[in-house]
Structure 1
Amino acid sequence: MAAPSAGEIGLVTPDEAWRMALSGEDALIVDVRSRAEWTFVGAPDLGDAGASIAFVEWTQFPGGAPNPAFVETVERAAAEAGCSRILFLCRSGARSDAAARTMQARFAETGRAVACFNVAEGFEGDLDADGRRGRRSGWKARGLPWRQS
């Protein structure tokens, strides 16, 4: 996967995100869903893979207010992971797109060479014919490792 051009974000599938996280390409996955989603829906399981993941709410639960510490928390996680690529993941790809764009602008503003990517389809993906997620597309539907607490 090529890095996005300056000021732009990249777009990857869940499978590509998984491969990037495992490949040693200095990639960090940032799951921007809420604590409730991580707990009740599940989360990517990278434990055995040795890959890095950070859980940072884009909006706070309950209520959906923007997380005022989002930018600085992601910056700290990126520095701790020593990554040059960040893969943003949410339920279906909308919040993660906004988060990736926000962080790409921040890294450009501060002169840091970090490429931000949105994980298309997200963790649960699109609704299926029965109005349910997690079956048609997304991290779970593609059979990538995940866990539920």
Structure 2
Amino acid sequence: MADYAGDVSPEKAWQGLGAESGAVLVDVRTRPEWQFVGLPDLSPLGKQVAAVSWQVYPTMERNPQFEEAVRSVAPSPDVPVYFLCRSGVRSRAAAIAMTAAGYGRCYNVAGGFEGGLDETRHRGAREGWKASGLPWVQE
């Protein structure tokens, strides 16, 4: 069995979330990132993002309740679960962990919410959810 189902583009994640009623998007970033950077807006799909931190701010230690929290928002291990972070590293780790916990359709959203740094050392313009033009909101 593979570590996880694989990487998908933000656009593919959006399509998958719209195509399957049980599909879930789990944003694994921290509360400050959600508050100051923004969150994907799934309201056009009639859904909400599940905000479940992979690491606990400010210590950035791994969240010991992560698997339990994901199970509460995605009770069936058979539905697609898309994991998103800033640039795709934490979400990949989360997808691997939930696959090991028995979820068969865990995807990492490649490029994350903001993507990597561009030539001016800024995020959000070159790759990721924001750069793809998908809906997002800021608190």
Same-fold call, TM > 0.5? Answer: yes
SS at structure 1 position matched to 2:62: coil
CA drift at 1:10: 1.8
CA drift at 1:26: 2.8
SS at structure 2 position matched to 1:21: helix
Q: What CA deviation, in whole Å up to 9, does each residue of 1:60-99 have, x standing for no partner?
A: 11120111110111011101x7861100000000000000
What is the CA–CA distance in structure 1 between the aligned matches of 2:3 and 2:37, rounded to whole Å?
A: 33
Aligned length: 139
SS at structure 2 position matched to 1:30: strand
8 Å CA contact 1:22–1:49 kept in 2: the answer is: yes
Q: Structure 1 residues 94, 65: CA separation in 2 closer, same or farther (over 3 Å shift)?
A: same
Partner of 1:77: 73
The one of 88, 92, 117 equivalent to 1:93 is 88
Partner of 1:57: 53
What is the CA–CA distance in structure 1 between the aligned matches of 2:98 and 2:12, rounded to whole Å?
A: 20
8 Å CA contact 1:9–1:116 kept in 2: the answer is: yes
> 1:43 and 2:33 equivalent?
no
Structure 1: runs of 5 or more not aligned: none
CA drift at 1:6: 5.6
Equivalent positions of 1:70-149 (< 5 A) are 70-79=66-75, 84-107=79-102, 114-149=104-139
What is the CA–CA distance in structure 2 between the aligned matches of 1:27 and 1:121, rounded to whole Å?
A: 20
Aligned amino acid, residue 11 of structure 2: D
Greater mean alpha carbon deviation, residues 43-52 or residues 121-130: 43-52
Q: What CA deviation, in whole Å up to 9, does each residue of 1:7-45 have, x standing for no partner?
A: 532210000001111112531000000000000000000
What is the CA–CA distance in structure 1 between the aligned matches of 2:18 and 2:77, rounded to whole Å?
A: 15
What is the CA–CA distance in structure 2 between the aligned matches of 1:6 and 1:64, rounded to whole Å?
A: 27
What is the CA–CA distance in structure 2 between the aligned matches of 1:130 and 1:100, rounded to whole Å?
A: 30
8 Å CA contact 2:41–2:48 kept in 1: the answer is: no
Sequence identity (%): 47
Structure 2: runs of 5 or more not aligned: none
